[in-house]
Structure 1
Amino acid sequence: MRDSADVMTQATPKFATQIARTDDEINAALRLRYDVFVAELGGDGPLVDHTAQLEQDVFDRHADHIILLDKARAGADQVIGVYRVMTAGMAQAAGRFYCAEEYDLTPLYNSGKRLLELGRSCLHPDYRGGPAMMHLWAGLADYAQARKIDLLFGVASFHGTDVAALTEPLSLLHHRHLAREALRVKAIGPTALSMNIIQADRLDRVSAVRQMPALIKAYLRLGGTVGDGAFVDHDFNTVDVCLILESDAISGLQRRMLTMGAADG
């Protein structure tokens, strides 16, 4: 994994990414997830440990956790970003990919591509809107390249479960960003819903984009596409869409990381 440390002032972040290996590192990642997904956004789940303040589920022990550190901070507080990632082998050990509860992943299984599921991505609030996410993506790009991954996918979320408030961005995703048919996973289950809500010619594109979370917009800029339909996750207090990034998008991510590395140097 890469290490990028800018030595300017004591307050300047010193970013590094790595795979969490020790219990302390994994718990620091789960604690950050608790702060963001539970305390900040109101999510919950059957295995969330409110006493220890750990956001966790059955997939965590099978997955890798890419963590972003700010080495200018002390101790466990150094963990300021996380991505949970699962290869096909990890998913087999876990029984399924996380997304399989929300989407029929048959098109991805049948694609013959090396798959990597992304999930539980979050940043400490002090680092949002700055270079931290790019450094976390750098670690993700390294991880994918080392494992010759062909396709990244995972659910990305709108906060809250009020679908009526999300008709514009969901409709825009349906009309402008659907995955090609061969990879078009479909939302399943009792809370699955169509994103084809507002006709394309009646959409206010600017308003729709403005309502999208920054992470979804970032994936789309890389060339990401979405599955057919959304999924309302009441436990996690979100409306989820399935993002799919093919090899061209992965290459674009790697090029952006190389550009960032040259700028850091």
Structure 2
Amino acid sequence: MATNVRETPVTNRTAPGPALKMTEAHGSVFGRIGNLETRLALTPSEIDAAQAVRYEVFAREMGATLTPESVRRGRDIDIYDEFCDHLLVLDRSLPGDSEEQIVGTYRILRQDVARANTGFYSTSEFAVSDMLARHPEKRFMELGRSCVLPKYRTRRTVELLWQGNWAYALEHGMDVMFGCASIPGVRPEAMALPLSFLYHNCLAAGEWSVSARPELFQNMDLMPKEAVDTRSAVNALPPLLKGYLRLGAVIGDGAVVDYAFGTTDVMVVLPISRISDRYLNYYKADASRFAS
């Protein structure tokens, strides 16, 4: 789930954060397909390289407006990088060290780590705390800053990213994945078809309902349900968002325009219990499908 949240000033890294200490002990590869493999970042230099990949995609390709510090360093950075885990996809056929082999990345924030630091970053756009309060017994895991270099935007890379997320969720006993997914553009009215499709067909209800913050709320109910052409609407959705819907995810009420990243964001909620049997059978209940 691409977060694309508004940036906050970065702090200077003086020592590995809590998540990095965990990954140094972890060190395992979650999965391999051909020359590609997925695992967590193990060192500050690998996190730095992942931030460079994010900068390449978000700033140079998408034209996002980042902080002066990000521009100076050529890195997409914020304070959450200090304590998140960083999932990587590496192409082991590329020359050089691991830092030169990173072709995709995802940022993961577990609820216990969020509590110990500054909370979940999606709270800047969505009223997540209401949903969390309804499920005090469940463990939540936030996904964000997803990006892949253009050459590697293939099914294999997406499968490995999901393999990594699934293996990580199992390892840490997570119950729910959530995060912001981004649709390119800052005019919701120009996205009336996909937003209305999400509202009429995928809206989270009851225990999983979550809304955009009132001051940022953009109405998604822009077309009557009978006027929405499903095929055209689905084709208009970004691949990442379509993938999560296939898995069984639901969508929060209200979109948020992120002018810095040039996107319109929606909240995606994926309880593990809702993941479709088709995908559980494919990736295996123990995440062994592509395990090395």
TM-score scaled by length of structure 2: 0.82
Confirm whether residue 51 of structure 1 aligns to residue 72 of structure 2.
yes
Confirm whether residue 90 of structure 1 aligns to residue 113 of structure 2.
yes
CA separation of 1:48/1:210 partners in 2, compared to 1, >3 Å: closer, same or farther? farther
Matched-pair contact (CA < 8 Å) for 2:32–2:290: no
Give the Cα–Cα distance (whole angstroms) in 1 for the partners of residues 291 and 83 of structure 2: 34
Residue aligning to 2:284:
258
Matched-pair contact (CA < 8 Å) for 2:252–2:267: yes
Moved more, 39-48 or 96-105: 39-48
Show CA shifts across 1:17-52 (max 9, x none): 111121110011101100111111111233652132
Match runs of 1:1-265 below 5 Å: 1-6=29-34, 14-46=35-67, 49-74=70-95, 75=97, 76-105=99-128, 106-112=130-136, 113-250=138-275, 252=277, 253-258=279-284
Q: Give how far 1:262 is off.
A: 5.2
Q: How many residues align?
A: 258
Matched-pair contact (CA < 8 Å) for 2:283–2:290: no
Give the Cα–Cα distance (whole angstroms) in 2 for the partners of residues 72 and 16 of structure 1: 10
CA separation of 1:210/1:258 partners in 2, compared to 1, >3 Å: closer, same or farther? same
Show CA shifts across 1:209-253 (max 9, x none): 111000000000001110111111111211000001012345755
Matched-pair contact (CA < 8 Å) for 2:31–2:291: no
CA separation of 1:163/1:48 partners in 2, compared to 1, >3 Å: closer, same or farther? farther
**Counterpart code for 2:283:** M
Stretches of structure 1 that go unaligned for 5 or more consecutive residues are 7-13
Give the Cα–Cα distance (whole angstroms) in 1 for the partners of residues 39 and 290 of structure 2: 21
**Counterpart code for 1:62:** F
Matched-pair contact (CA < 8 Å) for 1:191–1:233: no
Greater relative contact order (Cα < 8 A, sep 6+)? 2
Matched-pair contact (CA < 8 Å) for 1:114–1:151: yes
CA separation of 1:226/1:236 partners in 2, compared to 1, >3 Å: closer, same or farther? same
Q: Give how far 1:264 is off.
A: 9.0
Give the Cα–Cα distance (whole angstroms) in 2 for the partners of residues 53 and 174 of structure 1: 37
Give the Cα–Cα distance (whole angstroms) in 2 for the partners of residues 167 and 262 of structure 1: 38
CA separation of 1:137/1:47 partners in 2, compared to 1, >3 Å: closer, same or farther? farther
CA separation of 1:29/1:189 partners in 2, compared to 1, >3 Å: closer, same or farther? farther
Residue aligning to 1:11:
none
Matched-pair contact (CA < 8 Å) for 1:49–1:55: yes
Give the Cα–Cα distance (whole angstroms) in 2 for the partners of residues 255 and 44 of structure 1: 41
SS of the aligned residue for 1:55 comes to coil
RMSD: 2.1
Matched-pair contact (CA < 8 Å) for 1:83–1:121: yes
Q: Give how far 1:189 is off.
A: 4.4
Off by >6 Å, runs of 4+ in structure 1 = none
CA separation of 1:249/1:33 partners in 2, compared to 1, >3 Å: closer, same or farther? farther
